[in-house]
Amino acid sequence: MAFDLLESHNAGLVALHYGDRTFTRGELRTESRRAAAFLRGLGLGRGDIVAVWLPEGAVWMQLFFAAAQLGILMVPVNARLQSQQVLHVVKRAKARALMVPQKFSDFDYVGAAKEIKASCITLQHIVEVARFDSFEWSSLKPYSRREGRETDLLCAFTTCETNDTPRLAVHTAGGIARHAHTLARFNDMRERDVALCALPLDNALGFAHVMTALASGAACMLMPACRTEHIAATIERHRVTHFFGSDTMMDAVLNVGDYPLASWRRGAFRERGGLGRRVATQAWKSRGVKLTALYGMSECLAMPVMCSREDEALQCGVPSGALDSADIEFRIVDRVSGAALPDGQQGELQLRGYNVMAGYLHDPKATSQVFSIGGWFSTGEFAYAEGGAFHFVAAAKDRLRSQDSLDCLEI
């Protein structure tokens, strides 16, 4: 299960870097148990839902693993969403608790949370977090019981339909943990590596990279600020081995100036600026860094497929390639008839495997509409197959790929 991501590897290994703060795996494990004690004190347990409207940081991670320990479903909310957007998420989730910062970015989160509570009948608790760059609830005794199960719904991500209000795609604890181990192997991530994770944690792609680092015993570096010079300096200072971000981030860092970046050996990017082919080629030819384009969405987490051919950087610049696990399958079907299509013929991409969501939270009708017989999930996106791999072509008009969270360079 997901809490086991902390139990494995040496407790003294660094788990998180945040700004100038460093936290070991043992510290994160103990402090997550304190957070579990706090949540139990609120009367929360298996099947309850907690919305987390916090910036990325130590408390975010503390709450996630506390939720995993207790069997609670966590719904992360981007800290920069407006109050009405958050109200929609909290209402749709039927959350019993909402975590907010006492102060962040000159916005009254506590006041906004009180207004949300007045409009949401299920919301019982507003929890104010004094600091998010260090742990909370240090006076509580760690909660020792492991109540979470592999089948528990653990984390939900908002979807990005353009013609409808977002839904919440929920994933199980077992699926999240298994996918993290798979991605760690694919990315050749090892103990004592350092992964710079620059995508938001409420984004399925950003979330997957943090879990991947923890699964491998690597340290995860969360970025409170993402200026290009700062990223490059951070890679140098902490000897970052893996960098995950957007294509625009990669382009900026590759061209920032006089930084050797000698420790950087692997990376992956979400394509936002149409720069994928260029940055993948430049990274490989100029620095020997293997970059791959990500494919993913809220419903299937991150990177169910990726190119892995060092000598074909151009092909790695777009979401395409073979599946990264034998337990994840794809097929291309005719969007009208549902019939499977042969190689080279464009159709709708469908996926099946442990990385696919359990369903849309509290929305069985919408869930049934995207799953077909045999458990195939309809992505609503166009692709074609070729020799056991698929090549992404375009998203359907009513969907956006991945999530519409802002990259930190865009803020």
Higher pLDDT, 146 or 258: 146
Instruction: Supply the pLDDT for residue 297.
Output: 87
pLDDT band at 223 (very low <50, low <70, confident <90, very high): confident
In CATH terms, are 19-149 and 178-402 the same topology?
yes
Distance CA(260)–CA(237), nearest Å, equals 11
User: Top-level CATH class of 19-149?
Assistant: alpha beta
Q: How far apart are the first and last CA of the chain?
A: 35
- For residues 253-279, average pLDDT: 87
CB atoms within 10 A of CB 114: 13
pLDDT band at 268 (very low <50, low <70, confident <90, very high): confident
CATH match for 178-402 among 3.40.50.2300, 3.40.50.850, 3.40.50.12780, 1.10.3720.10: 3.40.50.12780
Least confident of 30-39, 209-218, 386-395, 400-409: 400-409
- Alpha carbon distance 297, 397 (integer Å): 15
Residue 83, phi-psi category: left (phi > 0), alpha (psi -120 to 50), beta (remainder)? alpha
The C-alpha atoms of residue 305 and residue 108 are separated, in whole angstroms, by: 41
Whole-number pLDDT of residue 258: 84
Q: Which of 269, 264, 199 is nearest to 236 (CA)?
A: 264
Cα 335 from Cα 207, distance rounded (Å): 30
Query: Greater confidence, 267 or 295?
Result: 267
> Which has the higher per-residue pLDDT, 80 or 156?
156
The model's pTM is 0.92
Distance of CA 81 to the CA centre of its chain: 17
- Distance (Å, rounded) from C-alpha 215 to C-alpha 180? 6
Read off the DSSP letter of residue 196. E
Residue ranges of domains in the chain:
19-149, 178-402
- The answer for residues whose C-beta is within 8 angstroms of residue 269's C-beta and 6 or more apart is 244, 245, 246, 247, 249, 250, 276, 279, 291, 292, 293, 294
Name the band, by pLDDT with cuts 50, 70 and 90, for residue 225. low
| The two three-digit tokens of residue 155, written as one number | 């984390």
